[in-house]
């Protein structure tokens, strides 16, 4: 076998290292594409919470003490499909609203003596 034949055989398309890498990359890209498609389908099948459900959850979170809220905030943000910063602001607003409502009831207690 001549030197040229050896080189041709050594670097034939089936055995060429660059060709193998390209084939592996193509296979990997196809798998990634398939995974993205199935992942997108799963995400679309998961429904986002509606506004009423979001507001109800924010109200419940606002009633927790700050330490309890801190432990749950990241998990709840993922569950509700919102950023933690947005959830924090909404909970803070709800707490202020609840506090304002509570202060309005102080006049009911004014006439009561211990």
Residue-wise pLDDT for 56-113, tens only, equals: 999 999 999 999 999 999 999 999 999 999 999 999 999 999 888 776 655 655 666 7
Q: Is the pTM of this model over 0.85?
A: no
DSSP assigned state of 49: P
Within-domain flag for 56? yes
Q: 10 Å Cβ neighbour count for 98?
A: 13
Residue 16: the pLDDT is 46
Q: How far apart are the first and last CA of the chain?
A: 111
Between helix 51-62 and helix 84-103 the angle, nearest 10°, is 70
Based on the domain organization, do 80 and 100 belong to the same domain? yes
| Domain region containing 37 | 3-44
Please tell me which residue, 54 or 14, carries the higher pLDDT value. Answer: 54
Question: What is the number of structural domains in the chain?
Answer: 2
Based on the domain organization, do 26 and 52 belong to the same domain? no
Within-domain flag for 114? no
Based on the domain organization, do 99 and 51 belong to the same domain? yes
């Amino acid at each position: 076998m001549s030197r040229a034949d050896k080189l041709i055989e050594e670097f034939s398309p089936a055995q060429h290292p660059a060709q193998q890498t390209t084939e592996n990359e193509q296979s990997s890209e196809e798998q990634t594409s398939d995974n993205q498609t199935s992942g997108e389908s799963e995400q679309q099948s998961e429904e986002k919470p509606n506004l009423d459900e979001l507001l109800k959850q924010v109200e419940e979170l606002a009633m927790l003490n700050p330490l309890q809220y801190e432990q749950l905030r990241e998990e709840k943000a993922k569950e509700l499909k919102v950023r933690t910063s947005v959830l924090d602001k909404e909970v803070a607003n709800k707490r202020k609203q609840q506090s304002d409502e509570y202060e309005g009831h102080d006049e009911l207690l004014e006439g009561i003596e211990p």
